[in-house]
C-alpha cells in the first residue's frame, strides 16, 4: 500500500460526490455530527451500535457485517471513502475494520470532517438514499488484529507502540482528557512500549504528515521498522490511526492493531504494567 492508494484529498472527494462507484461513509463517536450536516450523499456507520456486538465485547460477526453493509447500500466493488471527526480516529478504525472483513477498495478522506469544515465545504442534512445490496464479506484477516496473549508474547520481542497521550502513557491520566478520569483500569503502559502519540502523525487540520516526516517520527522514537509492530491505545481507535500510518501509508508489512487496548490490558489480573508517576 502507499499514500496514493489509501488517501484522497478534499478536492478529489468533491469531484467524486456524484460518482456511482464511490460511497462516502461518515463514522463519528459523536452521533449528532452526521445529523448536523454531512458530505452530500454520505451514509453513516455507528461504530458502537453497528460495528460492535451488543452483548459480548467483540466485533459483529461476518454475517452481521454483510447484513449491515447490504442495508447501507454498499457493494463489494464500491470504492468506500471513510471520513469522520476527531481527526479521523473512528474513520481509521472503520477503515481497519473494513480491511479486517476483506473489503478491497477503501480510502480515507485526508483531514476528515475537520478539514472539510475548516475549508467551509458543503455539508447537507439531507439523508442519503441508497439501494440495498447483497454484500459478501470475507473471514476476518487476523494478520492485522492482535489479541492479548499475542501482546503478552510480544513484550521485548516486537515493537509495541502506545499511541495515547504522554499523560495516559505515564499513568497520570486514564482516558483522553475529554472524558472523565474515573475508570476501573490500572493506569500505566505495557512494558517495553514506546510512546508515540497518534497526534504526532497528524497536522493541526487533521491531515497526515508527509511520508518522510512519518518515517522519521517512528524511527526517531526507536521503532525498528524492520521488525513487526503492534499498536494500541485505550479502545483501539487511535491505534487504528497509527496502524493506518504504518501499514497503509508507509507500507510496513506486519503491523497489527490491539483493539482490546488499555481497557483490556489495564483490567487483566497479573498483566505487567509500567507506571512513571
Partner 1 sequence: MCGSTVGGLSTEGIDVSMETVIQGTVTREDGPVAGAYVRLLDHQDEFTAEVQTSATGGFRFFAAPGSWTLRALAGGGALGETGIQADTGINDVDVTVSST
Binding site for partner 1 (CB under 8 A): 28-30, 32-33, 48, 85-87, 89-90, 114, 117-118, 120, 165-167, 172-173, 175-182, 197, 199-200, 204, 233-235, 237-238
When the beta carbons of 197 and 260 are compared against partner 1, the nearer one is: 197
> At which residue does the C-alpha cell 456486538 appear?
53
What's the min distance (Å) between Cβ of 238 and partner 1? 6
Cell of 203: 497536522
What's the min distance (Å) between Cβ of 195 and partner 1? 10
Question: ∠271-162-25 over CA atoms, to 5°?
Answer: 115
What's the min distance (Å) between Cβ of 170 and partner 1? 10
When the beta carbons of 90 and 101 are compared against partner 1, the nearer one is: 90
What's the min distance (Å) between Cβ of 137 and partner 1? 25
What's the min distance (Å) between Cβ of 50 and partner 1? 15
Confirm if 91 and 108 have CB atoms less than 8 A apart. Answer: yes
Q: How many other CB atoms sit within 10 Å of the CB of residue 219?
A: 11
Q: How many other CB atoms sit within 10 Å of the CB of residue 214?
A: 20
Indicate the DSSP class of residue 73: T
What does the alpha-carbon distance between residue 249 and residue 6 come to, in Å, rounded to a whole number? 7
Cell of 142: 487476523
What does each C-alpha distance from 217 to 75, 167, 201, 202 come to in angstroms? 37, 19, 8, 11
Confirm if 97 and 249 have CB atoms less than 8 A apart. Answer: no
When the beta carbons of 111 and 230 are compared against partner 1, the nearer one is: 111
Q: Out of 158, 160, 163, 233, which one is annotated catalytic?
A: 233
When the beta carbons of 17 and 118 are compared against partner 1, the nearer one is: 118
> At which residue does the C-alpha cell 478539514 appear?
115
Check if 125 is active-site.
Answer: no
When the beta carbons of 117 and 228 are compared against partner 1, the nearer one is: 117
Q: Which residues are marked as active site?
A: 233
Amino acid at each position: 500500500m502507499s499514500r496514493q492508494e489509501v488517501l484522497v484529498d478534499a478536492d478529489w472527494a468533491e469531484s467524486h460526490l456524484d460518482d456511482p462507484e464511490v460511497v462516502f461513509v461518515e463514522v463519528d463517536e459523536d452521533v449528532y455530527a452526521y445529523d448536523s450536516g454531512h458530505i452530500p450523499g454520505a451514509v453513516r456507520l455507528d461504530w458502537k451500535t453497528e460495528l460492535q456486538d451488543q452483548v459480548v465485547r467483540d466485533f459483529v460477526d461476518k454475517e452481521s457485517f454483510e447484513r449491515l453493509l447490504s442495508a447501507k447500500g454498499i457493494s463489494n466493488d464500491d470504492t468506500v471513502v471513510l471520513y469522520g471527526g476527531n481527526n479521523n480516529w473512528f474513520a481509521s478504525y472503520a477503515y481497519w475494520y473494513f480491511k479486517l472483513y476483506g473489503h478491497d477498495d477503501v480510502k480515507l478522506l485526508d483531514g476528515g470532517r475537520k478539514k472539510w469544515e475548516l475549508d467551509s465545504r458543503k455539508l447537507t442534512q439531507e439523508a442519503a438514499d441508497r439501494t440495498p445490496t447483497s454484500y459478501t464479506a470475507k473471514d476476518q484477516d487476523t494478520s492485522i488484529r492482535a489479541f492479548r496473549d499475542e501482546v503478552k508474547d510480544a513484550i521485548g520481542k516486537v515493537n509495541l507502540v502506545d499511541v495515547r497521550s504522554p499523560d495516559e502513557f505515564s499513568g497520570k491520566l486514564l482516558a483522553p482528557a475529554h472524558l472523565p478520569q474515573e475508570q476501573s483500569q490500572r493506569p500505566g503502559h505495557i512494558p517495553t512500549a514506546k510512546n508515540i502519540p497518534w497526534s504526532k502523525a497528524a497536522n493541526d487540520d487533521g491531515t497526515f504528515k508527509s511520508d518522510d516526516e512519518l518515517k522519521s517520527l517512528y524511527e526517531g522514537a526507536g521503532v525498528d521498522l524492520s521488525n513487526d509492530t503492534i499498536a494500541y491505545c485505550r479502545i483501539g481507535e487511535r491505534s487504528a490511526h497509527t496502524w493506518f500510518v504504518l501499514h497503509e501509508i508507509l507500507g510496513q508489512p506486519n503491523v497489527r492493531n490491539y483493539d482490546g487496548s488499555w481497557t483490556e490490558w489495564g483490567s487483566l489480573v497479573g498483566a505487567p504494567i509500567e507506571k512513571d508517576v
